[in-house]
């Protein structure tokens, strides 16, 4: 089966492409680097010819709310329109656990919610995969929450996962029947956000002090105790943060 992966040269997309090819599928990595641009529509008609499934793991180049809105509200209709013309039978998109709640106060998540709504209203059979945060991004979370030598984070629960496990889930969704709804995935451990970041910084001998601050939120958005964790029925993957840190250090 021909499966086109939008964002297929990125962190998750490249892994999805590899997994699908290992399963014998004609998986195509599509991104501006390969001549496919969802913002302008360049290359979409050509790359989608003969495709049965489209996987969208692309992301806005900026987390700024206005920029993210512009990206998703332009790129998503362009992509869905090209899929409709090509007769694509399944659209798979990667999104974020807690999007609906976080969208109430953070522009980026409002943009992701708009993307999800466009997909649901498109008429194309679809699956939206809600993932928890990636291990690869924990240092970025710490940097965003840093004030001087202090990292202020909400003491909310958090269930991050390895990008390799995210890719496995997305690849599995791509070769399964559309659910016409949302599936949730997460890591194996539910820990407090501030405690996990403290562990991550210690592993790098980073001297910053982590402080649990309920007012700090998450990327500037207020969060409840379980906003960042998947709900009942979610598929949980096995890679633990401590194992990922050790394996990453060995590379």
pLDDT tens for 68-110 read: 999 999 999 999 999 999 999 999 999 999 998 888 778 889 9
* 136 contacts 11 by C-beta, under 8 angstroms: yes
Q: How far, in Å, CA of 27 to CA of 18, rounded?
A: 8
Please indicate, yes or no, whether the overall pTM of this predicted structure exceeds 0.85. yes
Which H or E element spans position 6? strand 2-6
Q: How far, in Å, CA of 202 to CA of 187, rounded?
A: 21
pLDDT tens for 168-191 read: 999 999 999 999 999 999 999 999
Residue 107 to residues 37, 138, 201: CA-CA distances in angstroms?
Answer: 23, 20, 28
pLDDT tens track of the chain, all 251 residues?
999 999 999 999 999 999 999 999 999 999 999 999 999 999 999 999 999 999 999 999 888 889 999 999 999 999 999 999 999 999 999 999 999 888 877 888 999 999 999 999 999 999 999 999 999 999 899 999 999 999 999 999 999 999 999 999 999 999 999 999 999 999 999 999 999 999 889 988 999 999 999 888 888 788 889 999 999 999 999 999 988 988 876 65
Give the chain's domain count.
1
CATH number at residue 188: 3.40.50.720
Contacts of residue 45, Cβ cutoff 8 Å, sequence gap at least 6:
82, 85, 86
Helix extents (H) in 107-240: 107-120, 138-144, 163-174, 193-203
Q: Which domain holds residue 103?
A: 2-250
- Judged on CB neighbours under 10 Å (0-12, 13-18, 19+), 162 is buried
């Amino acid at each position: 089966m021909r499966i086109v992966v939008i964002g297929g040269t990125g962190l998750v997309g490249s892994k999805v492409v590899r997994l699908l090819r290992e399963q014998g599928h004609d998986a195509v990595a599509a991104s501006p680097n390969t001549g496919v641009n969802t913002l302008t529509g360049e290359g979409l008609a050509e790359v989608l010819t003969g495709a049965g499934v489209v996987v969208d793991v692309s992301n806005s180049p900026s987390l700024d709310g206005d920029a993210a809105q512009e990206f998703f509200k332009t790129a998503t209709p362009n992509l869905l329109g090209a899929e409709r013309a090509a007769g694509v039978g399944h659209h798979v998109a990667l999104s974020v656990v807690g999007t609906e709640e976080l969208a109430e106060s953070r522009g980026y998540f409002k943009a992701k919610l708009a993307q999800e709504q466009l997909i649901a209203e498109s008429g194309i059979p679809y699956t939206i995969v809600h993932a928890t945060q990636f291990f690869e991004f924990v240092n970025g979370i710490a940097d965003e929450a840093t004030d001087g030598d202090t990292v202020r984070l909400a003491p909310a629960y958090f269930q991050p996962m390895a990008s390799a496990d995210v890719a496995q889930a997305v690849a599995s969704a791509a070769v399964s029947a559309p659910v016409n709804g949302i599936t949730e995935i997460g890591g194996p451990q539910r820990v407090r956000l501030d405690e996990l970041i403290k562990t991550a910084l210690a592993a790098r001998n980073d001297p910053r002090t982590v402080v649990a601050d309920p007012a700090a939120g998450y990327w500037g958005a207020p969060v409840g105790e379980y906003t960042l964790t998947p709900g009942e029925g979610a598929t949980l993957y096995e890679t633990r943060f401590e194992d990922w840190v050790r394996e990453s250090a060995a590379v």
